[in-house]
Chain A
């Protein structure tokens, strides 16, 4: 059957990008039907705590909901849970969800990503990834047992996991292929400082190595490296990137070579939008399109698209923002730190581990980093945003 009443806005994905889009459509005065489709059979939840507070036990599963109780119902948002889109037909403007075709005027793709498995020999169940509540719960249960832990991947998620697991008292090794840790797009500006913090806190950083599989004798005993050595571990966690979830879009005219290609306003095709981790928005400042897997960007994109759908106006550009916390070091980045430019100190000092820095192009910041210096960071950021129209 075809559900004609479903015309209006159909949002695929009930993570932070999808839910924020839905709620803000209403905040922006949108009165047509809004339908939110989520493949997990539970209330929408926030993902950052899965690798942080949920693992540490500071929050539990009931603390991470994206909205309260009947918020969606009260805002007249239809939430279909435990189902996903299998086919998207952009010509007929309808989507097959379960057994029903749902029509749309606007389609918002917010399907997110799935955790990538590392290349090599990893039998089913031998490694953990962290993307869903179930993943986090299963890893936490495993961490209740003593034993060394290996984290494969030295990007932001791998480092956050390593820090969190170390703070639970485990010996932790981080295995990374690259020569340095990778903290988002901060280039190597922060790598050595981050590496010092991790090492001082007892994380065994093994960079420039190549994990090729797990060693097992019944249960997991370690991670095998290409040089033949074995890093002992009873728990192995992989954080080696993600794969955009675009299966339902195969066969459409959309460019889904790496997520959903969009212009700088989130438009993938007329009336078709993408937000969050799955979206590859054109970044006019960088002159290329790329996916940004940070929650702040997912939220900003959702606010922008909701506003565009509700008002018909194109959204202003989004400045990337992300934050992380490693062993009580709070690191925030606004804009784009340019790996090819030196880091100029604007306040504080690197030695004190309290500073605000920037990469400057023609005297103007392309991006800012704040390290344990929230006030000064905010002041510099306000100045940065005032300059924004000129350097964007």
Chain B
């Protein structure tokens, strides 16, 4: 699994950091910070959920890698 975030379009709702705190964090303005672009298997479900819940839909999960 490969994760990409578009920080320019992030609106800082913080859903991702709450749902998958090992993969996403927020900077002081609330903008997403990607902690791990290649999460391991146990984190996959939370990462998918974070992408689905992102209100600005800036998290892209590529399952092919």
Interface residues of A in 52-80 (CB under 8 A from B): 53, 59, 66, 68
Say how far A48's CB is from chain B's closest CB, in angstroms.
Answer: 7
Residue A35 lies at the interface, judged by CB distance under 8 Å to chain B: no
Asked if A325 and B11 sit within 8 Å, CB to CB, the answer is yes
| Number of chain B residues close to chain A: CB under 8 A | 20
Q: Return the contact of B14 from the options A23, A46, A374 (Cβ within 8 A).
A: A374
Chain B positions within 8 Å of A299 at CB level: 52-53, 55
Asked if B29 and A374 sit within 8 Å, CB to CB, the answer is yes
Chain B positions within 8 Å of A140 at CB level: none
Asked if A332 and B14 sit within 8 Å, CB to CB, the answer is yes
Say how far B10's CB is from chain A's closest CB, in angstroms.
Answer: 11
Looking at the complex, which of A124-132, A172-180, A336-344, A377-385 is the stretch in contact with chain B? A377-385
What residue in chain B is nearest A374 (Cβ atoms)? Answer: B30
Chain A positions within 8 Å of B49 at CB level: 303
Q: Give Cα A378 to B33, complex, Å.
A: 14
CB within 8 Å for A321 and B11 given contacts A48-B55, A330-B30:
no
A-B pairs, top 10 by smallest CB distance, nearest first, are A374-B30, A323-B13, A374-B26, A378-B14, A374-B14, A295-B55, A330-B12, A299-B53, A374-B12, A296-B55
Interface residues of B in 10-48 (CB under 8 A from A): 11-15, 17-18, 26, 28-30, 48
Q: Could you list 27 A-B pairs, sorted by A, with CB under 8 Å? A: A20-B52, A24-B52, A27-B48, A46-B57, A48-B55, A48-B56, A68-B60, A296-B15, A299-B52, A299-B55, A303-B52, A303-B53, A321-B15, A323-B13, A323-B55, A325-B11, A330-B12, A332-B13, A332-B14, A374-B14, A374-B28, A374-B29, A375-B26, A378-B14, A378-B17, A381-B14, A381-B18
Q: Give Cα A381 to B19, complex, Å.
A: 11
Residue A264 lies at the interface, judged by CB distance under 8 Å to chain B: no
Name the interface size band of chain A: 20 to 34
Asked if A377 and B14 sit within 8 Å, CB to CB, the answer is yes
Kindly name the residue among A23, A24, A330 whose own CB sees the greatest number of chain B CB atoms within 10 A.
Answer: A330
Chain B positions within 8 Å of A66 at CB level: 57
Chain B positions within 8 Å of A332 at CB level: 13-14
What residue in chain A is nearest B62 (Cβ atoms)? Answer: A68
Interface residues of A in 34-58 (CB under 8 A from B): 46, 48, 53
Chain B positions within 8 Å of A48 at CB level: 55-56
Q: Give Cα A374 to B26, complex, Å.
A: 8
Residue A300 lies at the interface, judged by CB distance under 8 Å to chain B: yes
Chain B positions within 8 Å of A20 at CB level: 52
Chain B positions within 8 Å of A382 at CB level: 18
What residue in chain A is nearest B28 (Cβ atoms)? Answer: A375
What residue in chain A is nearest B26 (Cβ atoms)? Answer: A374
Q: Give Cα A46 to B58, complex, Å.
A: 12
What residue in chain A is nearest B30 (Cβ atoms)? Answer: A374
Q: Give Cα A27 to B45, complex, Å.
A: 9
Say how far A383's CB is from chain B's closest CB, in angstroms.
Answer: 12
Chain A positions within 8 Å of B57 at CB level: 46, 66
Q: Give Cα A381 to B21, complex, Å.
A: 13
What residue in chain B is nearest A20 (Cβ atoms)? Answer: B52
Q: Give Cα A20 to B49, complex, Å.
A: 11
Q: Give Cα A300 to B50, complex, Å.
A: 11
Chain A positions within 8 Å of B11 at CB level: 323, 325, 330
Chain A positions within 8 Å of B52 at CB level: 20, 23-24, 299, 303
CB within 8 Å for A378 and B18 given contacts A299-B52, A303-B49, A330-B30:
yes
Q: Give Cα A23 to B13, complex, Å.
A: 22
Asked if A296 and B53 sit within 8 Å, CB to CB, the answer is yes
Interface residues of A in 286-336 (CB under 8 A from B): 295-296, 299-300, 303, 321, 323, 325, 330, 332
Q: Give Cα A27 to B17, complex, Å.
A: 21
Q: Give Cα A165 to B53, complex, Å.
A: 27
Say how far B53's CB is from chain A's closest CB, in angstroms.
Answer: 6
Interface residues of A in 353-388 (CB under 8 A from B): 374-375, 377-378, 381-382
